[in-house]
């Protein structure tokens, strides 16, 4: 089915082939009918072994034939004495013949494993040699790699030996992704860190960095080493912290808490909300982890009240004074924006950066190197290296256009992070959050925009799926979405209870359906919809006025 080139043949050749195939089909049908009949009659004899062997040599993908052989062999084996080894060797020889012409058939490797599980005198050296042989034919044959792992386990070969094997395979060919993959499993077992559980010894890490560097310098476009490099630099964890919080009081007291990462509460680790130190709400489960959690409390506003939110060992506590309508707080800003979670030390990050920069001098258009440099800068100091990071993203988009969607989404996250981080460090909720004209394709970090009253997203290319995040604009009064090629109004706007001014100029909104989804928004007083095809609909202003009961001003 795969890799069969359509070659033109002469009439004669085609006819000869046709007759030959016809004969084969006839033979196949006769033989398989005979096999199934014998099986049905329980004739688990030599003839059945012979027939299934013949069919399998013609078509080794027929897994039922291998099964029939197993049914015969499992009865036969206990009856054999001296001849048992020869019998098994014959079966292994048949298997090897089939593997040579069909090395990627699951059922053949499965049968071989079954034989090795059942043979009384397994020869694991022989199996290891078979694996070496088949990996020499195709070093990426994952069936063979998986079978090799089985053999290694059975033969109790040490992880050190296997680690050396992976080194050898990589030395022969840096482009052996299968070997690098295997290495990623062995490294933590062979060189565990003495002080940190699950981590890798630092000297060993240093040798790994040298190994990948060798690979890059030999062939900078060999991707295997770059994937491995990314893994070496990663494997970091973000400690749980609260990013920011907001308490809004209208009819109810609404508490919003944004953690620095998505959390999934459990019965053992619930999110607890306490009012004046008394637990009132416990969230013990959720279908989906998320960063932003909200709940409604019924509290009198006639007195001071303390509200505390707790998860594991972290908590925040706020006091809402009598009559106070809104209180917010900002806690750990920096950890919100950590994207490059690295376990590498600052020294390693710096030396890797130097190495990448040197390589970029030689290969300025190498996208692997550009991306690694970018990620190292993000890990080291994304604020300080902001301009260079943006330039690297732009270079990546031009040198590797197929992955433009990926680069632009990551670039959006970085651009938003840069602005929002500075905002939160010196927070003033009345200061507009200006994200206009930043080339945004994706709206990130909206959980940390819960307190902003004015948000400007003009002139971007934010995808409609990404606009789900708008529901998190809990405090927004003025929202500008001009010039985003929007085909419809994001339905999530419906949830914004204090939105009073909405601008949607120069988008591509064509019909009133979008607006009808927002019916009943009481807070909306002003809407600007200039430069949208929907303006052509002759009574659209009247319709708008029926949807938004408090609307005062429609600009079109």
Partner 1 sequence: IIMGTPVKDVQLPDNPAIKSLLLDKHASYVEAFEKNKDDYDYCMTEFLRISGIYWGLTAMDLMGQLHRMNKDEVLEFVQSCRHPSGGFSPAPNHDPHLLYTLSAVQILVLYDKLEILDVDSVVKFVTELQRPDGSFTGDKWGEVDTRFSFCAVATLALLNRLDAVNIDIIVKFILSCMNFDGGFGVTPGSESHAGQIYCCVGALAITGRLYEVKADQLGWWLSERQLPSGGLNGRPEKLPDVCYSWWVLASLSIIGRIHWIDKTKLTEFILACQDEETGGFSDRPGDWVDPFHTLFGLAGLSLMGNKEVKPVNPVFCLPQDVMDRIGLQCKLLK
Interaction site with partner 1 (CB under 8 A):
1-6, 21-22, 24-25, 28-29, 32, 36, 59, 61-64, 67, 70, 106, 110, 114, 140, 142, 145-146, 149, 175, 177-178, 181-182, 184-185, 217-224, 227-228, 231, 262, 264, 287-289, 362-363, 401-406, 409-410, 463, 465-466, 468
CB of residue 52 to partner 1, shortest distance in Å: 13
Q: Nearer Cβ to partner 1, position 226 or 316?
A: 226
Strand, coil or helix: 247: strand
Torsion, Cα 215 219 222 228, to 10 degrees, reads 20
Burial of 443 (C-beta count, 10 Å sphere; 0-12/13-18/19+): buried
Closest of 150, 159, 80, 67 to residue 121, by C-alpha: 80
Compute CA distances 19 → 5, 11, 12, 55, 500, whole Å: 21, 12, 11, 19, 80
Q: Nearer Cβ to partner 1, position 42 or 520?
A: 42
Distance CA 507, CA 499 (A): 19
CB of residue 45 to partner 1, shortest distance in Å: 18
Q: Nearer Cβ to partner 1, position 20 or 552?
A: 20
Burial of 67 (C-beta count, 10 Å sphere; 0-12/13-18/19+): middle
CB of residue 23 to partner 1, shortest distance in Å: 10
Residue 539: both structure tokens together: 């009574």
Q: Nearer Cβ to partner 1, position 173 or 516?
A: 173
CB of residue 33 to partner 1, shortest distance in Å: 9
Q: Nearer Cβ to partner 1, position 289 or 346?
A: 289
CB of residue 427 to partner 1, shortest distance in Å: 28
CB of residue 139 to partner 1, shortest distance in Å: 10
Q: Nearer Cβ to partner 1, position 221 or 398?
A: 221
Residue 224: both structure tokens together: 């295997």
Residue 92: both structure tokens together: 């292994």
Q: Nearer Cβ to partner 1, position 335 or 478?
A: 335
Q: Nearer Cβ to partner 1, position 28 or 87?
A: 28
Distance CA 11, CA 18 (A): 10
Closest of 540, 545, 547 to residue 556, by C-alpha: 540
CB of residue 471 to partner 1, shortest distance in Å: 12
CB of residue 49 to partner 1, shortest distance in Å: 17
CB of residue 495 to partner 1, shortest distance in Å: 16
CB of residue 264 to partner 1, shortest distance in Å: 8
Phi first, then psi: give them for residue 462, nearest 5 degrees.
-70, 125
Distance CA 270, CA 116 (A): 50
CB of residue 298 to partner 1, shortest distance in Å: 31
- Find out whether 374 and 360 touch, Cβ atoms under 8 Å: no
- Find out whether 116 and 88 touch, Cβ atoms under 8 Å: no
Q: Nearer Cβ to partner 1, position 59 or 478?
A: 59
Q: Which residues pair with 315 in a beta bridge?
A: 310
Q: Nearer Cβ to partner 1, position 341 or 383?
A: 341
Q: Which residues make Cβ contacts (< 8 Å) with residue 148, sequence separation at least 6?
A: 128, 131, 135
Task: For 257-290, give one letter per residue: b (16+ CB within 10 A) or e.
Answer: bbbbbebebeeeebbbbbbeeeeeeebeeeeeee
Q: Provide the greatest CA pair distance for the chain.
A: 100
Q: Nearer Cβ to partner 1, position 177 or 427?
A: 177
CB of residue 431 to partner 1, shortest distance in Å: 29
Strand, coil or helix: 307: strand
CB of residue 513 to partner 1, shortest distance in Å: 20
Q: Nearer Cβ to partner 1, position 75 or 362?
A: 362
Distance CA 453, CA 449 (A): 9
Q: Nearer Cβ to partner 1, position 224 or 477?
A: 224
For the chain, the residue count is 556
Closest of 387, 354, 346, 384 to residue 372, by C-alpha: 354
Distance CA 68, CA 73 (A): 9
Q: Which residues pair with 192 in a beta bridge?
A: 200
Q: Which residues pair with 275 in a beta bridge?
A: 278, 307
């Amino acid at each position: 089915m795969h890799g069969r080139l359509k070659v033109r043949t002469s009439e004669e050749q085609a006819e000869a082939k046709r007759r030959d195939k016809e004969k084969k089909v006839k033979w196949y049908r006769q033989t398989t009918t005979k096999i199934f009949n014998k099986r049905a009659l329980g004739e688990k004899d030599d003839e059945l072994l012979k027939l299934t062997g013949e069919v399998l040599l013609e078509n080794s993908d027929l897994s039922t034939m291998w099964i029939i052989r197993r049914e015969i062999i499992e009865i036969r084996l206990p009856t054999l004495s001296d001849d048992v080894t020869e019998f098994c060797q014959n079966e292994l020889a048949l298997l090897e013949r089939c593997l040579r012409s069909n090395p990627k058939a699951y059922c053949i490797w499965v049968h071989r494993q079954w034989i090795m599980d059942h043979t009384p005198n397994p020869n694991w050296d022989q199996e290891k040699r078979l694996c070496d042989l088949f990996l020499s034919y195709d070093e990426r044959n994952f069936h063979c790699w998986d079978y090799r792992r089985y053999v290694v386990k059975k033969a109790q070969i040490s992880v050190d030996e296997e680690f050396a094997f992976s080194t050898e395979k990589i030395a022969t060919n840096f482009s052996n992704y299968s070997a690098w993959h295997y290495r990623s499993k062995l490294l933590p077992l062979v060189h565990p860190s003495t002080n940190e559980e699950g981590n890798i010894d630092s000297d060993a890490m240093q040798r790994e960095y040298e190994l990948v560097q060798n690979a890059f310098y030999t062939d900078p476009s060999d991707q295997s080493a770059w994937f491995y490099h990314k893994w070496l630099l990663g494997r970091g964890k973000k400690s749980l912290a609260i990013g920011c919080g907001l308490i809004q009081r209208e009819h109810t007291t609404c508490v919003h808490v944004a953690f620095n990462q998505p959390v999934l509460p459990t019965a053992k680790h619930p999110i607890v909300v306490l009012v004046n130190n008394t637990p009132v709400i416990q969230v013990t489960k959720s279908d989906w982890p998320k960063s932003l959690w909200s709940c409604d409390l019924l509290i009198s506003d006639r007195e001071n009240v303390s509200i505390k939110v707790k998860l594991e060992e972290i908590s925040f506590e706020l006091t809402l004074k009598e009559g106070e309508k809104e209180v917010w707080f900002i806690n750990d800003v920096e950890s919100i924006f950590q994207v490059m979670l690295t376990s590498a030390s600052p020294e390693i990050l710096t030396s890797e950066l130097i190495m990448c920069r040197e390589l970029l001098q030689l290969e300025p258009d190498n996208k692997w190197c550009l991306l690694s440099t970018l990620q190292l800068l993000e890990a080291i100091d994304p604020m300080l290296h902001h301009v260079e990071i943006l330039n690297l993203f732009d270079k990546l988009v031009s040198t590797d256009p197929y992955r433009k969607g990926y680069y632009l989404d990551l670039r959006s996250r970085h651009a938003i992070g840069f602005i929002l981080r500075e905002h939160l460090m010196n927070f003033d909720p009345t200061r507009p959050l200006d994200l206009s004209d930043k080339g945004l394709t994706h709206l990130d970090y909206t959980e940390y925009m819960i307190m902003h009253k004015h948000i400007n997203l003009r002139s971007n290319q934010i995808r409609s799926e990404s606009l789900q995040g708008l529901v998190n604009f809990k405090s927004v009064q003025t929202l500008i979405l001009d010039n985003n090629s929007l085909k419809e109004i994001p339905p999530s706007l419906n949830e914004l209870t204090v939105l009073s001014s909405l601008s949607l100029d120069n988008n591509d909104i064509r019909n009133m359906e979008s607006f009808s989804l927002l019916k009943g928004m009481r807070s909306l007083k002003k809407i600007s919809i200039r430069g949208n095809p929907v303006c052509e609909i002759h009574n659209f202003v009247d319709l708008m006025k029926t949807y938004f009961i408090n609307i005062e001003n429609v600009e079109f």
